[in-house]
Amino acid sequence: MNIHEYQAKQVLKGFGAPVAAGVAITSADEAEAAARQLPGPLYVVKSQIHAGGRGKGKFKELGPDAKGGVRLAFSIEDVVKNAREMLGNTLVTAQTGPAGKQVNRLYIEDGADIDRELYCSLLVDRSTGRVSFVVSTEGGMDIEAVAHDTPEKIVTIDIDPEAGVTPANVDEINTAYGLTGEAAEDGKSLFPILYKAFIDTDMSMLEVNPLIVMENGRLRVLDAKVSFDGNALFRHEDMKALRDETEEDAKEIEASEWDLAYVALDGNIGCMVNGAGLAMATMDIIKLYGKEPANFCDVGGGASKEKVAAAFKIITADPAVQGILVNIFGGIMRCDVIAEGVVAAVKEVGLKVPLVVRLEGTNVEQGKRILNESGLAITAADDLDDAAQKIVAAVG
């Protein structure tokens, strides 16, 4: 689960991290009162969307010469003017895709005098099985280019889970940044704080880009991006409350309500599968025969007929889907239940695109009989290869 920058800063502030004062608003009428709460004379008006790259982003409605999604403002009037221009418009960034995201919320923040912009993130490093700090002196808006062109400028420091962030780790991070004096002192408290916030709230990613050294020599978290581990949210009601469903794919939300693993993709073949391995194999083989999956929906083991029907409806609701491949290996999941769910869903929502079904495993004969006797236009397939070729041919 992702949250907005202003929320992430609130969470980090709760752990004692230095963040700027700021006020989130959802209408331009609130802009003036928000700015009056800040010291000035420099303000920053920041689009709150669940995507990075806002500074370099462009508003669709405003043309190529307009300023981006993070704007400096030099007076309260300037804050109001920018807020009016930005709210309600669509921001396209390197991370939103070409459709962009509508900006419904702004964060009006105290402007900082920046000396240096650093990069700092914490993530779960699968190769070491530990949480790692990933740090670079090249913070700001182009970290992807740094990773690509000058990877030696990115330093990874893994943290022993038993010891936590040790003074030696802090030294390593401070050295990697070249921090001295007060900034290095700030690092001694900040890096353990970031780690504690990460662990205590079960984050899966925390990215501070930029972490800045201000002209007064102090550190400040200037941008913050947080993802929480969805599997641990049950023990963080306070974090769960930060969810903004308007930022998420509507079909993914519906799927999560049914406890289905649904992932939206860019192609045009919808896939209903059971098990992550079979999902990967199904997508691979669709690609092998020259098409792309539009999504996959993993119904898991032991799903009910209702859950299968919900999965099928979610898949067909995507207008990009031009054909559906149901590929189930019934182990715990029974093929007859899958067949009943598919038939029930098709009867309810209709079937406007070709449907290829490959069933194998528990109660497969019963499942096939249910499909055959349903009177629906379903193409049966014998195996994975046959199924993929049939759906690719049907979509054309």
- Examine residue 41 and say whether the peptide bond preceding it is cis (omega within 30 degrees of 0): yes
**Shortest distance (Å) from residue 261 CB to Mg ion:** 30
Q: What is the DSSP string of 82-118?
A: HHHHHTTSEEE-TTT-TT-EE---EEEEE---EEEEE
| Per CB under 5 A, 282 contacts Mg ion | no
47 binds Mg ion (CB under 5 A): no
Local structure of residue 373 (DSSP, 8 states): H
Tell me which residue has its CB nearest to Mg ion: 223
Minimum gap (Å) between residue 106 Cβ and ligand ADP: 12
For the chain, the first-to-last Cα distance in angstroms comes to: 37
Residue whose C-alpha is closest to residue 86's, from 144, 28, 172: 28
Comparing CA positions, the residue from 367, 163, 373, 165 lying closest to residue 274 is: 367
HSE at residue 73, side-chain half, CA atoms within 13 A, is: 31
Chosen from Mg ion, ligand ADP, none, partner binding at 186 (C-beta under 5 to 8 Å by type): none
3-state DSSP call for residue 322?
coil
111 among annotated binding-site residues: no
Residues that contact ligand ADP, how many (by CB under 6 A): 19
Min CB(158)–ligand ADP separation in Å:
25
Candidates 53-61, 183-191, 272-280, 335-343 — which segment interacts with ligand ADP by CB under 6 A? 53-61
Whether 82 has a binding-site annotation, put simply, is no
Instruction: Give yes or no: 262 in active site.
Output: no
247 catalytic? Reply is no
Q: Is 34 in the site for ligand ADP (CB under 6 A)?
A: no
Residue 53 interacting with ligand ADP (CB under 6 A): yes
- Which of 17, 59, 40 is closest to 108 using CA atoms? 40
Site string for ligand ADP, 203-222 (x = CB under 6 A): ------xx-----------x
Minimum CB separation of residue 136 from Mg ion in Å reads 13
Taking alpha carbons only, the member of 234, 239, 242 closest to residue 201 is: 239
Binding flags for ligand ADP, 127-146, as an x/- string (CB under 6 A): -------------xx-----
* Rg for the chain, CA atoms, rounded: 25
Measured CA to CA in angstroms, residue 321 lies from 18, 259, 278, 296, 315 at distances of: 47, 22, 20, 11, 7
Candidates 138, 186, 223, 340; binder of Mg ion (CB under 5 A) is 223
Stated as kind and residue range, the H or E segment containing 192 is: helix 181-200
Residue 57 structure tokens: 């982003």
185 assigned binding-site residue: no
- From the candidates 6, 107, 119, 262, give the one annotated as an active-site residue: 119
| Stretch in the footprint of ligand ADP (CB under 6 A) among 51-59, 119-127, 267-275, 305-313 | 51-59
What string marks each residue from 99 to 128 as x (binds ligand ADP by CB under 6 A) or -?
----------x-xx-x--x-----------
Amino acid of residue 5: E
Q: At what angle do helices 167-177 and 181-200 cross, to 10 degrees?
A: 120
Q: Where are the beta strands (DSSP E) in 143-250?
A: 154-159, 203-214, 219-221, 225-228
Closer CB to Mg ion, 52 or 330, in the complex: 52
Active-site position among 138, 207, 262, 340: 207
CB of 179 to ligand ADP, least distance (A): 18
CB of 221 to ligand ADP, least distance (A): 10
Judged by CB under 6 A, the residue of 20, 184, 260, 337 near ligand ADP is 20
DSSP assigned state of 372 = H
Flag whether 333 is marked binding.
yes
The 3-state secondary structure of 332-363 reads CCCHHHHHHHHHHHHHHHCCCCCEEEEEEECC
Determine if residue 341 is labeled as part of a ligand binding site.
Answer: no
- Maximum Cα interatomic distance, the chain, rounded to a whole number of Å: 78
| Interface with ligand ADP, residue 44, by CB under 6 A | yes
Residues annotated as part of the active site: 119, 207
| Binding residues for Mg ion (CB under 5 A) | 209, 223
Annotated binding site for substrate: 274, 331-333
Binding site for ligand ADP (CB under 6 A): 20, 44, 46, 52-55, 70, 109, 111-112, 114, 117, 140-141, 209-210, 222-223
